[in-house]
């Protein structure tokens, strides 16, 4: 992985902490809207982590493949990822 592993790790640990908090909220039968708000915040952190990974892929893997003249497979991979993200 070519992304800044410290940044991605930090974001993932934040998301993990948020999920632990959400689980506690569910166990405590907290207000649904409060739980939903925390779920949305966690999704946002995971999206940021994914952006970091995909940006690094573009700047590293895809750029290298293009330089080597074989970017087609990497472009297809990225198109598949974008299709999943846009669903």
Q: Is the four-CA dihedral 74, 76, 79, 84 of positive or negative sign?
A: negative
Pick one of 3.20.20.60, 1.10.3720.10, 1.10.10.10, 1.20.58.1000 as the CATH number of 5-85: 1.20.58.1000
pTM over 0.75: yes
Q: What mean pLDDT is predicted for residues 4-28?
A: 97
| pLDDT score of 70 more than 90 | no
Domain residue ranges in the chain:
5-85
Residue among 71, 61, 74 at smallest CA distance from 3: 61
CB distance 56 to 3 below 8 Å: yes
pLDDT tens for 23-66 read 999 999 999 999 999 999 999 999 999 999 999 988 888 888 88
pLDDT value at residue 81: 93
């Amino acid at each position: 992985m070519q992304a800044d592993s410290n940044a991605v790790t930090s974001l993932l640990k934040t998301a993990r902490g948020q999920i632990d908090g959400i689980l506690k909220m569910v166990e405590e039968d907290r207000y649904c809207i409060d739980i939903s708000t925390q779920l949305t915040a966690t999704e946002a952190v995971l999206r940021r982590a994914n952006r970091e990974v995909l940006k690094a892929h573009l700047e590293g893997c895809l750029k290298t493949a293009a330089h080597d003249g074989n970017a087609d497979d990497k472009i297809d991979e990225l198109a598949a990822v974008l299709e999943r993200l846009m669903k």
